[in-house]
Amino acid sequence: MDVKLDPSRDDLPLMANTSHILVKHYVLDLDVDFESQVIEGTVVLFFKSRNRLKKQSTSTREMCGSESNEACRVSSPEPCSSPVTTTGTFSSDMGWNDFVICGKGGKDTAGKDCHHDNREQASGVSSSKHCCGTGNHGSEDFVLVLDCCDLSVLKVEEVDVAAVPGVEKFTRSPQLMVVPEELRNQIVHELVTLPAYCWREQLDYYALCSQAPGCGELLFDTDTWSLQIRKSGVQTATDFPHAIRIRYRTKPQGRSVMWTSDQSGRPCVYTMGSPINNRALFPCQEPPVAMSTWQATAQAAASFVVLMSGENSARPAQLQEGCLSWHYYVTMPMPASTFTIAVGSWAEMKLDTCPSSNLETESSFSPSEADFRYADVCGHTEYPCRFQSASAATQAIIPYRVFAPESLKGACQETLLQLIPLCLSAAHSVLGTHPFSRLDLLIVPANFPSLGMASPHIIFLSQSVLTGMRHLCGTRLCHEIAHAWFGLAIGARDWTEEWLSEGFATHLEDVFWTQAQQLAAHKAQEHQELRACLHWRRLQDEVQNSPEGMQVLRPNKERTGHVSDSGSSVIRHGLNPEKVFMQVHYLKGYFLLRFLARRLGDGTYFTFLRRFVHTFHGQLILSQDFLQMLLENIPEERRLELSVENILRDWLESSGIPQLLPDQLVLLLEHLLEQKTLNPRTLQSLEKTYLLPQQDAEVRHRWCELIVKHKYAKAYRDVERFLLEDQAMGVYLYGELMVSEDPSQQQVARRCFELTKEQMDRSSAELVAEMLF
């Protein structure tokens, strides 16, 4: 089962067998030790098997809603014999009335293979050569496979959730047998399927169950990319323990977290957006289909602040002298790869005189319009959803906090703190309801490998955005805010379709930023056209200097979204170090969306985009989901040759830059005419990429202007051909050729005039003669 890959050139494996069993919730209890540069603790995983879905024995909704609604009361459950801190202990910005519960539509999964003895294993060293079958074939044990790398796994055990006081409310099934294993799995099943309006009590019971005693160690094995767990004699995912606890520790060189110092020289650690995601932080199911919720408690020395992906603005609790505990949770299911943590001596930044960060502004919708607009049932699996809340729909600026090393306080006050409310409000004006209820922003250490990274409820920004004018800070902030909708609330079902996140964020960053600056329409247009020109130059350069295979936005083509029978898959080029620095998914995606927005018209396109967000938030999509819905909104007469198949073929499944339509080429060439210099290699690439000599007269006219302006002698033949064959449009070019005062260009003009003057109408001939002589 050990998978040997060369990190310099191979794909990233997603090993978890999500087709048989799915993690529905994680409870992490972590101890952060800066002296050893190790995070040690436990993660408790609560599962739901695919087969159990088919034979659900009770109606959870009835259990939660019937009689006195006992199972959903917010009264605190009796404490366990082990000390436990429930979510109710901590401050939350999210109130009971913030949400209306959305309709269901969830997904399911699980199963693969292997076995091992219970002793610590260094990831990458397998002590077992005996692999078992997946699923329930024959008499082999079912094997749970989790994504895991660079971790020392110390112990895996089943959790005795039946020992939690008060949990009997989850055992009402009349068919329930007294077999302990079945009892425990039934309790977990009822817990993970509680309706969304029971979210507070559900989190409390997850916390209590995570502290319950173990009831038997499980066999496990590790290899380079995975942790395999089995229980002797258990042959199906349905019978496999539905709550397990894994005790483990990270390694200082683990690739999911970065141990470093901040700008003030103080130690810190943070998740860095590693290509291997979070599998070196905790064992998990990484395929995006494994949508889960989580809650996490982290302990660190009292001098440190812990930030995490969480709906609540955590306040520390003192465990013992010199040690604080921080607790965060999320109720919106998302892939485990989006979990983020940052621990350091961060200081909260505030303006000396500034509006409250809890500022809310008036919505452009009246309450009645907002209520009507958000009346539809959501399409995702059930969770407390802001898109069904009229108050959330009108909240233009969500609560936010800013953290950074103390040494960056002045820079944060001068730029970032002033821009956040503007950018949040601009995003809301374009896309509507913010998917997340709050936001933390952290200025990360100087070694952070990009300008920004968005995770649920938290954004990392590079210190580089704080210097100079506001433009870089504003555009990067808008880019990361856009990821709340595209990348987080709406994710790609196949991670090779990265453009669904980065292409949308790149397109929206310019739209948000012009809105945040409140530019007049013509100024906003000029700004976006200039940005398009810059993006074009960057894309063109990247296409010329990168492998063709890495320029394809949908490399799996018709097999995009497909996984093996077990649910495992690979991310194409996921471990290629070049990919981290490539912009093709950003820029090619940007130009596709710009092209589509132009085809519909900006007003129609952004109205559609709001509707798309409302339809697909909380779900995973493929490219065709977006394209199909978009094309349904384009009138037949404006579609021309557009189809899902053509767009997939020309834009997403081909390397290089797609062939543009004539009006787009005219616009592109006009942008390039505004540039003072273009080198011959760029002009040659344009000519070959877009077959410019073969385009219509409007396009060729702009192409000839570029040739003349930049004295591109290799293409003077195209100018001559235009002057001879397109006399109705060529008069202006004579003037350009003569004004250049370049002898070779003036010679082209005179030669062409001699050949055509007898055929020209008198007024044109006189005008040209005046230019030439």
The confidence score (pLDDT) of residue 474 equals 97
| C-alpha to C-alpha distance for 157 and 587, rounded to whole angstroms | 47
Least confident of 46-60, 180-194, 660-674, 684-698: 46-60
| C-alpha to C-alpha distance for 242 and 226, rounded to whole angstroms | 19
Question: Residue 652, Cβ neighbours under 10 Å: how many?
Answer: 23
The tokens for 337 are 């790869």
pLDDT-based confidence at residue 64 (cuts at 50, 70, 90): very low
Query: 700 near 707, Cβ under 8 Å?
Result: no
Q: Is the pLDDT of residue 432 over 50?
A: yes
Q: Is the pLDDT of residue 443 over 90?
A: yes
Provide mean pLDDT across the span 427-447: 97
Q: Is the pLDDT of residue 122 over 50?
A: no
Which DSSP string corresponds to 647-692? Answer: HIIIIISSSSPPPPPHHHHHHHHHHHHTSS---HHHHHHHHHHHTG
Residue 457's nearest CA partner among 442, 473, 475 is: 442
Catalytic residue IDs: 480
The confidence score (pLDDT) of residue 423 equals 98
Task: Name the more confident of 709 and 172.
Answer: 709
| C-alpha to C-alpha distance for 223 and 227, rounded to whole angstroms | 7
Question: What percent of the chain clears pLDDT 90, i.e. is strictly above it?
Answer: 58
pLDDT-based confidence at residue 82 (cuts at 50, 70, 90): very low
Angle, alpha carbons 489-490-491 (nearest 5°): 115
The tokens for 118 are 């219970």
Least confident of 16-20, 279-283, 546-550: 546-550
The confidence score (pLDDT) of residue 255 equals 92
The confidence score (pLDDT) of residue 575 equals 85
Least confident of 353-367, 400-414, 743-757: 353-367
pLDDT-based confidence at residue 396 (cuts at 50, 70, 90): very high
The confidence score (pLDDT) of residue 106 equals 36
Q: Is the pLDDT of residue 709 over 80?
A: yes
Please state the φ and ψ torsions of residue 707, each to the nearest 5 degrees: -60, -45
Strands (E), 231-322: 243-250, 257-261, 267-271, 291-301, 305-308, 317-320
The confidence score (pLDDT) of residue 54 equals 47
The confidence score (pLDDT) of residue 572 equals 82
* Residue whose pair of structure tokens reads 């609790």 in the numeric block: 317
Reduced DSSP (H G I as helix, E B as strand, rest coil) percent helix, strand, coil of the chain, to 5: 40, 20, 40
Query: 674 near 710, Cβ under 8 Å?
Result: no
| C-alpha to C-alpha distance for 368 and 372, rounded to whole angstroms | 6
Q: What is the mean pLDDT of the chain?
A: 83
Distance of CA 214 to the CA centre of its chain: 36
Those residues whose C-beta lies under 8 Å from the C-beta of residue 453, and which sit 6 or more positions away, are 273, 340, 459, 460, 480
The confidence score (pLDDT) of residue 694 equals 85
Task: Name the more confident of 468 and 52.
Answer: 468
The confidence score (pLDDT) of residue 173 equals 55
Q: Is the pLDDT of residue 99 over 50?
A: no
The confidence score (pLDDT) of residue 659 equals 66
Strands (E), 272-386: 291-301, 305-308, 317-320, 323-335, 341-344, 347-349, 384-385
Q: Is the pLDDT of residue 549 over 90?
A: no
| C-alpha to C-alpha distance for 661 and 665, rounded to whole angstroms | 6
pLDDT-based confidence at residue 726 (cuts at 50, 70, 90): confident
pLDDT-based confidence at residue 353 (cuts at 50, 70, 90): low
Query: Which residue(s) pair with 727 in the sheet?
Result: none
The confidence score (pLDDT) of residue 172 equals 60
Q: Is the pLDDT of residue 365 over 80?
A: no
| C-alpha to C-alpha distance for 339 and 649, rounded to whole angstroms | 34
- HSE at residue 281, side-chain half, CA atoms within 13 A, is 30
Query: 296 near 336, Cβ under 8 Å?
Result: no
Least confident of 57-71, 184-198, 286-300: 57-71
The pTM (predicted TM-score) of the whole model is 0.79
Question: Residue 241, Cβ neighbours under 10 Å: how many?
Answer: 25
Q: Which of 358-367, 374-383, 666-675 has the highest mean pLDDT?
A: 666-675
Residue 568's nearest CA partner among 10, 6, 12, 142 is: 12
The confidence score (pLDDT) of residue 361 equals 36
Phi-psi region of 680 (alpha: psi -120 to 50; beta: other; left: phi over 0): alpha
Provide mean pLDDT across the span 603-619: 95
The confidence score (pLDDT) of residue 506 equals 97
Provide mean pLDDT across the span 386-405: 95
Label residue 486 exposed, middle or buried (CB < 10 Å: 0-12, 13-18, 19+).
Answer: buried
What confidence tens digit (pLDDT) does each residue in 127-180 have?
333 334 444 444 699 999 999 999 999 999 999 999 999 988 887 655 545 678
Q: Is the pLDDT of residue 561 over 50?
A: yes
What confidence tens digit (pLDDT) does each residue in 736-758 have?
898 888 999 999 999 999 998 88
Stated length of the chain:
773
Question: What percent of the chain clears pLDDT 70, i.e. is strictly above it?
Answer: 82
What confidence tens digit (pLDDT) does each residue in 498-534 have?
999 999 999 999 999 999 999 998 888 888 888 888 8
* Residue whose pair of structure tokens reads 């555009």 in the numeric block: 475
| C-alpha to C-alpha distance for 169 and 67, rounded to whole angstroms | 12
Q: Is the pLDDT of residue 115 over 70?
A: no
pLDDT-based confidence at residue 347 (cuts at 50, 70, 90): very high
Provide mean pLDDT across the span 230-252: 96
The confidence score (pLDDT) of residue 370 equals 37
| C-alpha to C-alpha distance for 685 and 757, rounded to whole angstroms | 34
pLDDT-based confidence at residue 100 (cuts at 50, 70, 90): very low
What confidence tens digit (pLDDT) does each residue in 8-60 have?
467 899 999 999 999 999 999 999 999 999 999 999 999 998 765 444 434 44
Please state the φ and ψ torsions of residue 80, each to the nearest 5 degrees: -75, 165
pLDDT-based confidence at residue 660 (cuts at 50, 70, 90): low
The tokens for 222 are 């590790």
The confidence score (pLDDT) of residue 139 equals 66
The confidence score (pLDDT) of residue 515 equals 96
Q: Is the pLDDT of residue 458 over 70?
A: yes
- HSE at residue 389, side-chain half, CA atoms within 13 A, is 21
The confidence score (pLDDT) of residue 763 equals 82
Query: 295 near 325, Cβ under 8 Å?
Result: no
Least confident of 278-287, 340-349, 567-576: 567-576
Residue 31's nearest CA partner among 253, 304, 245, 334 is: 304
The confidence score (pLDDT) of residue 251 equals 96
- Distances in Å between the Cα of 578 and the Cα atoms of 8, 543, 581, 584, 652 are 9, 13, 6, 12, 20
